[in-house]
Amino acid sequence: MNIIILIPVFNDFKSVSKLIEEIDNNISDLNYSFTVIVVNDASTEEKILETKNLNHIKYLKLINMRKNRGHARCIAAGLKHISENENFDYIIPMDGDGEDRPEEIKNFVEKIKDNPNRTIVGERVKRSESLIFKICYFLHKIITLTFTGKFIKFGNYTCLTKKTVQKLIEEKSTWSSFSGSLAKTEINLINSPSIRGSRYFGPSKMSFFNLIMHSLAIIAVFKTGVIFRSIAFYAIYLIIIAEYISIITAIPLALIIIFGLVILKISGRENMTEFNNSLTNISDIDILK
């Protein structure tokens, strides 16, 4: 059984180095073959993976990209590369900063023993960020549910079957949002409790702006449903305020229109041509073990 752990990185090699060592420690008693593939998203810092005494990871590879494409596209390109060039049964994408806890890999393995043909997602049951971030993230989930009908409680940390990977690389929305695309292409997912860990080094790189863009990218995956729901909300609200039209009561109507236009704009990031050509962005591949 071959499991590939896919880790995107941008200017955070210190954290990724520690993560790889933690992964090696946590898979020591698992009777599977593990490969770690790190995708370097055109980092500007020196690309050094300081890993020592890796006794259980079979292979360690570093894919270096020419141009920075962003976190979601880094994962998408990694999935495409693995599907075309590697022998695997499952892929586990995970963030490289320690927030996806390596000890939970064992939970994924236990789940796939009983459900070998189903994809597992790490359902967030506890987060480590500030209260403000947690509130914003909760609002993100509510807004996503309202406009898409999807209550998405997982991020990148998942265990993907080969069949799911094939679906993802054939879906253009994967180029814009991994979790949104997974929620769109797979409805028969299995949840595994996942606690959001703390970063190994430095502050979180998920700014308020990045959180908004992340949320909108997920919602944009379901743009057709979003537009229909927006029209329905618009019509219902217009009926409710018909006798009380004013500049103030008309503000929500304007916001719904703006929201719909923003979603359509962001959905333009879903580009199948760019996705199909994403591997041309690879400059070289280092075999580190």
CATH code, domain carrying 193: 3.90.550.10
Residue 127 has pLDDT above 60, yes or no: no
Asked, for residue 195, whether it belongs to a domain, the answer is yes
Asked, for residue 147, whether it belongs to a domain, the answer is no
Residue 199 has pLDDT above 90, yes or no: no
Q: pLDDT (tens digit, 9 = 90+) per residue, 40-86?
A: 999 998 888 888 889 999 999 999 999 999 999 999 999 999 999 99
pTM exceeding 0.75: yes
Asked, for residue 212, whether it belongs to a domain, the answer is no
Q: pLDDT (tens digit, 9 = 90+) per residue, 169-192?
A: 999 999 999 999 999 999 889 999
Expressed as residue numbers, the domain containing 120 is 2-128+153-205+272-277
The proportion of the chain whose per-residue pLDDT surpasses 90, expressed as a percent, equals 69
State whether residue 63 is helix, strand or coil.
strand
* Type of residue numbered 28: S
Asked, for residue 230, whether it belongs to a domain, the answer is no
Asked, for residue 43, whether it belongs to a domain, the answer is yes
Asked, for residue 284, whether it belongs to a domain, the answer is no
**Calpha distance 142→162 (Å, rounded):** 31
* Type of residue numbered 261: L
Asked, for residue 237, whether it belongs to a domain, the answer is no
CB 133 within 8 A of CB 140: no
Angle in degrees, 0-180, between the axes of helices 162-169 and 178-185, rounded to the nearest 10 = 110
Q: If you average pLDDT over residues 268-277, what whole number do you get?
A: 95
Q: Report the greatest alpha carbon distance in the chain.
A: 73
- Which ranges of 27-88 does DSSP label H, i.e. alpha helix? 71-85
Asked, for residue 161, whether it belongs to a domain, the answer is yes
The alpha carbon dihedral of 171, 276, 179, 142 has a sign of negative
Residue 165 has pLDDT above 70, yes or no: yes
Residue 258 has pLDDT above 70, yes or no: yes
pLDDT number for residue 138: 79
Tally of structural domains, the chain: 1
Out of 93-107, 122-136, 162-176, least confident range? 122-136
